[in-house]
């Protein structure tokens, strides 16, 4: 009976809790209602008091303990994260990085404020207005374009601590985290040369050029490898375009244009699978390949430790260094040969 009484009164006490303490049922009333000895009720009350649900005050009666207020850690800063929506949807690793940044900022008692923007929105004054209207203390922007420098200046002028993750030389206000591709590309191309590859093809749409393009050219020249740019005639690549990228095993394909790589996988998935099977390919982003099932193929990968990058950035934002000559963070993407294709490609839009 004692255990049954304890469970019944425990439920009553929990339901009766409020912000302020208030009287609970007297011992004698409970004993009469449940037809038990008053000593049994007293034992149950002492147990509920140990549970923190009741407070027994001599000569005053028994009270329901007030509900504990949840303590909230103070928010040190609100950190704006501008996110380019097309890239966020295209690249699984980009989505993972945003999630990691949110988690690491929370660890440092900061709040991430995601600000999504579409193609060309970031170059409009309204975008900067939208960000500043949220009153951020700091801002971390993944690979801002040269057209975003004016917005970055506005943020800095407004007193926002600005961090830019840069994959190309760009004069920006605030602090920078630089992605240095030289070391990883040099390692990859040395391995390819040892494996008998003498020619490297870089697919791209007309008018496209990336920061890796210029670094790769210097690496290939230093190693004596020839380079060819496979420029598409339009934005709708044909099966022939993909199949003609490389035929011989002595040719490797470097997908240094992330968006073009994603588009090729989306429009010509079967031809891309055939290409992965036929020649060595180096990829740098995780994309979607709309096929039912991936065959057991491998690709070479140049990737960065996103968890470490997010952790270092969050720590840097939490302990701001306002010196003008403060050194930037530097991240060196690492070469991983023959990674299972399933680690870099998903077959649907689920994360």
Residues 116 and 138 placed together within one structural domain of the fold = yes
Q: According to the model, what pLDDT value does residue 211 have?
A: 57
Domain CATH for 29: 1.10.10.10
331's tokens: 């991240």
Residues 165 and 202 placed together within one structural domain of the fold = no
Residues 286 and 188 placed together within one structural domain of the fold = yes
Residues 297 and 198 placed together within one structural domain of the fold = yes
Give 170-210 pLDDT, tens digit per residue: 899 999 999 898 999 999 999 999 999 999 999 988 776 66
Residues 209 and 270 placed together within one structural domain of the fold = yes
Residue 342 lies in a domain: yes
Last residue of a domain, one of 64, 89, 114: 64
Residue 323 predicted with pLDDT over 70: no
Residue 72 lies in a domain: no
Give 272-311 pLDDT, tens digit per residue: 999 999 999 999 988 877 777 788 999 999 998 999 999 9
Q: According to the model, what pLDDT value does residue 350 have?
A: 40
Of 314, 313, 311, the residue nearest 328 (C-alpha): 313
- DSSP codes joined into one string, 283-305: E-S-EE---SS--S-EEEEEE--
Residues 218 and 340 placed together within one structural domain of the fold = yes
Give me the chain's average pLDDT, please: 88
Residue 71 lies in a domain: no
Domain CATH for 112: 3.40.50.2300
Residue 119 lies in a domain: yes
Q: Strand (E) positions, the chain?
A: 22-23, 54-57, 61-64, 77-84, 110-117, 138-142, 161-166, 175-179, 199-205, 226-232, 251-254, 281-283, 287-288, 298-303, 329-331, 334-340, 345-346
Residue 224 lies in a domain: yes
The domain in which residue 315 lies consists of: 77-180+306-332
Residues 9 and 118 placed together within one structural domain of the fold = no
Residues 253 and 154 placed together within one structural domain of the fold = no
Read off the pLDDT band of 351 (50, 70, 90): very low
Residue 315 predicted with pLDDT over 70: yes
Number of domains in the chain: 3
- Which of 32-41, 87-96, 273-282, 284-293 is predicted with the least confidence, judged by mean pLDDT? 284-293
Residues 340 and 243 placed together within one structural domain of the fold = yes
Residues 203 and 118 placed together within one structural domain of the fold = no
Contacts of 189 (CB under 8 A, 6+ apart): 200, 216, 219, 220, 223, 225
């Amino acid at each position: 009976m004692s255990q049954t009484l304890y469970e019944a009164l425990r439920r009553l006490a929990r339901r009766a809790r409020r912000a302020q303490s208030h009287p609970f049922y007297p011992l004698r009333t409970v004993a009469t209602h449940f037809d038990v000895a008053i000593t049994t009720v007293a034992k149950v009350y002492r147990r509920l008091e140990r549970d923190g649900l009741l407070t027994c005050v001599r000569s005053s009666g028994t009270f329901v303990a007030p509900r504990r207020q949840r303590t909230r850690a103070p928010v040190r800063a609100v950190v704006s994260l501008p996110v380019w929506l097309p890239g966020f949807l295209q690249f699984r690793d980009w989505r993972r990085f945003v999630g990691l940044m949110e988690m690491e900022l929370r660890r440092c008692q900061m709040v991430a404020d995601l600000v999504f923007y579409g193609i060309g929105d970031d170059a409009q004054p309204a975008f900067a207005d939208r960000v500043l209207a949220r009153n951020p203390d700091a801002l971390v922007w993944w690979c801002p374009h040269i057209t975003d420098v004016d917005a970055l200046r506005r943020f800095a002028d407004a007193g926002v601590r600005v961090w830019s993750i840069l994959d190309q030389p760009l004069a920006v206000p605030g602090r920078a985290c630089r992605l240095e591709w030289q070391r990883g590309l040099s390692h990859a191309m040395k391995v390819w040369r040892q494996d008998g590859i003498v020619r490297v093809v870089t697919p791209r749409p007309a008018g496209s050029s990336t920061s890796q393009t210029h670094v790769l050219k210097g690496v290939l020249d230093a190693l004596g490898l020839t380079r060819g740019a496979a420029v598409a005639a339009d934005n709708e690549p044909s099966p022939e375009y993909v199949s003609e990228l490389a035929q011989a095993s002595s040719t490797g394909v470097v997908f240094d244009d992330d968006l073009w790589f994603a588009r090729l996988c989306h429009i010509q998935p079967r031809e891309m699978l055939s290409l992965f099977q036929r020649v060595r390919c180096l990829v740098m982003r995780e994309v979607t390949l709309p096929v039912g099932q991936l065959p057991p193929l491998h690709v070479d990968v140049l990737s960065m430790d996103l968890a470490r990058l997010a952790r270092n950035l969050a720590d840097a934002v939490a302990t701001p260094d306002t010196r003008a000559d403060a050194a930037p963070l530097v991240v060196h993407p690492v070469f991983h040969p023959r990674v299972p294709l399933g680690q870099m490609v998903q077959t649907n839009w689920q994360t």
